[in-house]
Amino acid sequence: MGKYQQEAAQLLELVGGKANIAAVSHCMTRMRFVLNDPKRADIPGIEKMKVVKGTFTQAGQFQVIIGNTVSDFYNDFIAVAGIEGVSKEAVKSAAKQNQSTLQRVMSALAEIFAPIIPALITGGLILGFRNCIDSLYLFENGTKTLCDLSQFWAGLDSFLWLIGEAVFHMLPVGICWSVTKKMGTTQMLGIVLGLTLVSGQLLNAYAVAGAAEIPFWDFGFFRVNMIGYQAQVILAILAAFTLVYLERFFRKICPAVVSMIVVPFCSLVLSVVAAHFILGPIGWKIGSIISSVVYAGISGSFKVVFGAVFGFAYAPLVITGLHHMSNAIDMQLIADFGGTMLWPMIALSNIAQGSAVLSMIFLQRKDADAQEVNVPSCISCYLGVTEPAMFGVNLKHSFPFLCGMIGSACAAVVCVATSTTANAIGVGGLPGILSIQPAYMGSFAICTLIAVVVPFVLTCVAGKRRLAAAGGVPADDPVPAAVTVQTVPAKVQSLCAFLSGKAIAITEVPDQVFSQKVLGDGLAIEPTDSTLVAPADGEISVVMDGSNHACGMKLANGMEILMHIGLDTVDMNGDGFTAHIKEGDKVKAGDRLISFDPAKIKAAGHPATTMLVITEESKGCKPVFHTGKTVTAGRDTIMTLED
C-alpha cells in the first residue's frame, strides 16, 4: 500500500471522480489536472486536505500544490484512480478543452510569434528611429527633416531600411517558418512558402493600396493578380497552416519510397496556389470593402459613431494586414479636402496600444524577463510601430490589447468630433502631432492624453486582477529582513549562491505558488550563467525525472530545500536541461547539479528566474536572506542561519 493511498482516494473523489479527469500529470511541486467539468471539483474540500498546500487554475489546468513529495503522491493517485498519467505536453493539449475559442486563438498566436519577437522589437526600434529622422519636419520653419539637411543622416536612413524591410515586409517568411516549426512539419517548406508571398516578381502590397496598376498571370481562360503580401499576418498564418495540413495528409497516404518527392512537391505547390488563387484575393476583396466603408464613414453624417468603431477596430486591422488600405483613403481625403481626419485616429491607436504596454511595464516592474520585451516594445509603439507591442505583449496577455482598443475608441470619438485634421500621412504615435494642421494641434493633444490615460488605467485595473490570479504581479512588500524558523546546529551556518546573477526576494517571483510562499520561504536569482550548483553540503533528495528542471536537497542540519530552474519549464520536457546528479548523491557546496540553456528557456517563452525554497524547516533559528545584489555562484552568501 502506498504512503498516500488514502489521500489519493480522497483527492480523486473531490476532483469529481475518474470520469471527470480528462488528463493528469505532475511537475516538481504540483498535480496538473485537466477536468472535463471544472465546476465539479470541490476546491474548498481539496484545500482542507492536510497534504495539499493550495490550488489554482491556469491555462485550462487545475493545479493542486503538493510539494516535494508530489512524485510519490502522483504514483499512488494513478494507481488508486486506475488511469494512465500522460506527458506534460498532452496535459497542455488536453487543457485547451477548458479554454474559450478566443483563449485558444490568443495562445496559438503567442506560440507562433514568440520566436519572432526579438526581430520585431529590433525592426520596431529601427523604423521608429527612421520616422524621427526622415518624417519629422523640425527644421527651416517646419519644411525640412534631418535627412533633408544632412547626407549622412539620409544615407543612414536608407541603410537602416535594409533591416526594417527585412523584418516587416518579409514578416510572412518568419510567420510561415514559425508555424511549421510549431506544428512539427518541414520548416524549409514554410520558408519557401513565405518567400513566394513577398517575391520581388509581385506588386508590393503598399503599392496596391496606392492604386498602382496590378500585373497578372495569364492562364488563357483566367487571370490571377500578381500581388505581394508584405507585412500580412493572417494570410501568412492561413497559408502556413494550409501547408502543414497538406504535408501531413500527403505524408499519411504516400508510400515511403516516393515520399521525399511527392510530399514536399504536392504540399508546397498546392499551398502556394491556395495562397495566391484563393486566400490572397479574398483578403484583398475584404480590404477593398473596408476601404469603401471607411471612406463613407469618415465623410458621412455619422462620423462620430464611425470614429468610435474605427478607433476600436484599427488595431485588429493591423493584425490582418488590411490596414494598408487606409493609405489610399488618406491620400484621397488629402486630394479632395486638403487634409485627412483618418490619419490622426491611426496615430492615436498606436499611442493607445503603447500606453497599454506602458501599464504592463508598471505591473511587471519587478519581472526583469518581461521588461526585456515590454520596454523596447513601448518605445517603438510610441514612435509609430505597433507590431512589437501587439504581438510581443498585448496579444500575449489579451486584456492589454482590448484596453488599448477601448482607449483608442475614446480618443477617436473626440478626434472626429473636433474635426482634427492632418496635413499628410506622417509619423504615427506621439510624434504624430507634428503632421496635424496647426489649428487642430490643441485638440489632438487632448486626444493624445486620452489615448495615454484610458488604456493605462484600464490595463492597470484589469492587470492587477488577471495577473495576480496567474501569479504574474509581484508583491510590493520587500522580503522580511529575518524570518523565524527553527534551530539549526552550528554545522550549517550559511548557504552560498546557487547561480550567478541578481538575488531577489521570493515575493518578486511572478508565480503565486512561490511568491505567496505556499511551499515555504526562500529567495530567487535572475541568472547570468547556466549551471545550478549546491548552496551547501548535503544529499540530493529528489531530481525531477525527465524534465531535469528542479531538484531537492537535504542539508546536514535536517533542513530541506527545493531549487527550481525557471517558471513552467516542466513544459520543455527536459529540452535544454542536463542533470549531473541523481537521487541519493552526496554533494559539497559549489558542486554542479544541473546545467541548462537560458536561450532555449527564453525561446520557449519562460522566465529563467530560479528559486530556492525551504520546504522543511530546521529547529530554532532564523534564516536571513541577502537579496537585492549581484552574486557569484558558489562564492557569495545568500542566506545565513542565526541562533
Could you give the 3-state DSSP secondary structure of residue 315?
Answer: helix
> Cα separation of 278 and 272, whole Å?
10
DSSP string, 340-354: BSHHHHHHHHHHHHH
Residue whose C-alpha cell is 479574398: 282
Residue 172 identity: P
Helix/strand/coil percent split, the chain, to 5: 55, 15, 30
Burial class (CB in 10 A: 0-12, 13-18, 19+), 73: buried
C-alpha cell at 574: 527536459
Asked whether the beta carbons of 295 and 329 are under 8 A apart, the reply is yes
- Gap between the terminal Cα atoms of the chain: 41
- Contact residues for 598 (Cβ-Cβ < 8 A; gap 6+): 527, 530, 608
C-alpha cell at 155: 544615407
Q: How many CB atoms lie within 10 A of CB 266?
A: 15
**Nearest Cα to Cα of residue 387 among 280, 204, 230:** 230
> Cα separation of 558 and 555, whole Å?
5
Q: How many CB atoms lie within 10 A of CB 546?
A: 12
- The beta strand positions in 249-373, using DSSP E, are none
Catalytic residue among 27, 147, 381, 621: 27
In whole angstroms, how far apart are CA 605 and each of 87, 273, 365, 435, 501?
19, 34, 18, 38, 20
| Known active-site residue 27 | yes
> Cα separation of 444 and 124, whole Å?
24
- Contact residues for 265 (Cβ-Cβ < 8 A; gap 6+): none
Asked whether the beta carbons of 287 and 324 are under 8 A apart, the reply is yes
> Cα separation of 485 and 619, whole Å?
7
DSSP string, 66-131: --TTHHHHHHHHHHHHT-----HHHHHHHGGGGS-HHHHHHHHHHHHHGGGHHHHHHHHHHHHHHH
Asked whether the beta carbons of 612 and 506 are under 8 A apart, the reply is no
> Cα separation of 22 and 20, whole Å?
6
Runs of H (alpha helix) within 392-473: 395-397, 399-417, 441-469
Segment holding 287, helix H or strand E: helix 280-298
- Contact residues for 66 (Cβ-Cβ < 8 A; gap 6+): 26, 29, 30, 31, 51, 52, 53, 73
How do strand 494-496 and strand 637-642 relate by DSSP bridges?
Answer: antiparallel
The dihedrals phi and psi of 21, each to the nearest 5 degrees, come to -100, 115
- The beta strand positions in 545-617, using DSSP E, are 550-555, 560-565, 577-579, 586-587, 592-596, 610-616
Which residues are identified as catalytic?
27
